[in-house]
């Protein structure tokens, strides 16, 4: 969507606030012995406090409040009843619908103790997002976002999961435009003020950038068993630094 008025801006800010609060609560709850299903239930409690609904449930009939992906699972993981163990890498993807406005963000955390590889992988995803924000300015080409992400991931020696990409967001989860995390020379259209995007680098410790969908029909995992990290925020393009709505 493109924010054109104060009503839309306030709606997106509230949706972003719900995302931020949910991520804060779930991150604090990640510890050995907790199950992803318990984290999902906790997310539902936070949503209820704000009158929010699960956008994946509303739009795609997903059987979850939030997606939780562990280790080699990258995104859209269905919360299981397997307790988290020390060293697990957990990606939490939160996308509520709050009064008709949708915001989307994800973070990856590791259950202590954190392995050096997992720590560097998580830092890579976050750094790639930070570099993308430097390219996300009014008048800059859309493909500058992907160029920045791709370069940072390569610099840090990890694998960019190219089949998964960001997107427009606001009134639905997935809106135009697509926002690849790699440089696509065709995407030269300049970014305009008020445009709302979900920018989401996803990276792997493996060497194969291709993915596979599990038998549950939802969970997308690495094809070679590499662990994955996912970092995402919903941002609004401005003439200066983007407004991170889900911060």
C-alpha torsion sign, points 150, 155, 160, 166: negative
Q: How far is CA 132 from CA 67, 197, 233, in A?
A: 24, 12, 11
- Cα–chain center distance at 38: 20
Q: Are 108 and 89 in contact (CB under 8 A)?
A: yes
Q: Are 226 and 120 in contact (CB under 8 A)?
A: no
- Cα–chain center distance at 137: 20
Q: Are 105 and 233 in contact (CB under 8 A)?
A: yes
Q: What is the rounded CA–CA span in Å between residue 102 and residue 20?
A: 13
* Annotated binding residue 126: no
Beta-sheet pairing, 175-179 with 166-168: antiparallel
Both ends of the chain: CA-CA distance in Å?
Answer: 19
* Annotated binding residue 6: no
* Annotated binding residue 152: no
* Annotated binding residue 140: no
* Annotated binding residue 192: no
Helical (H) or strand (E) element with 89:
strand 89-94
* Annotated binding residue 104: yes
Q: What is the rounded CA–CA span in Å between residue 144 and residue 242?
A: 14
Q: Show binding-site residues.
A: 76, 93, 104, 167, 174, 200, 232
Q: Show binding-site residues for a divalent metal cation.
A: 93, 104, 167, 200, 232
Q: Show binding-site residues for substrate.
A: 76, 174
């Amino acid at each position: 969507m493109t924010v054109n008025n104060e009503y839309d801006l306030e709606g997106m800010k509230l949706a972003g606030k719900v995302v931020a609060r949910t991520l804060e609560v779930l991150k604090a709850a990640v510890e050995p012995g907790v199950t992803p299903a318990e984290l999902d239930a906790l997310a539902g409690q936070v949503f209820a406090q704000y009158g929010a609904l699960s956008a994946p449930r509303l739009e795609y009939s997903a059987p979850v409040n939030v997606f939780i992906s562990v280790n080699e699972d990258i995104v859209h993981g269905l919360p299981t009843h397997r307790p988290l163990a020390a060293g697990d890498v957990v990606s939490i993807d939160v996308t509520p619908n709050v009064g008709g406005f949708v915001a989307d963000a994800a973070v990856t955390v590791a259950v202590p103790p954190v392995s050096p590889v997992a720590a560097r992988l998580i830092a890579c995803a976050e750094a790639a997002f930070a570099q993308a924000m430097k390219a996300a300015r009014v008048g800059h080409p859309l493909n500058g976002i992907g160029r920045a992400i791709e370069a940072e991931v390569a610099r840090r020696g990890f694998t960019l999961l190219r089949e998964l990409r960001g997107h427009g967001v606001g009134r639905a989860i997935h809106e135009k435009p697509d926002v690849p995390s790699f440089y696509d020379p065709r995407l030269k259209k300049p970014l305009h003020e008020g445009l709302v995007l979900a920018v989401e680098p996803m990276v792997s410790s493996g060497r194969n950038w291709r993915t596979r969908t599990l038998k549950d029909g939802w969970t997308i995992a690495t094809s070679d068993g590499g662990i994955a990290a996912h970092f995402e925020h919903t941002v609004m393009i401005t003439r200066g630094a983007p407004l991170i709505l889900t911060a």
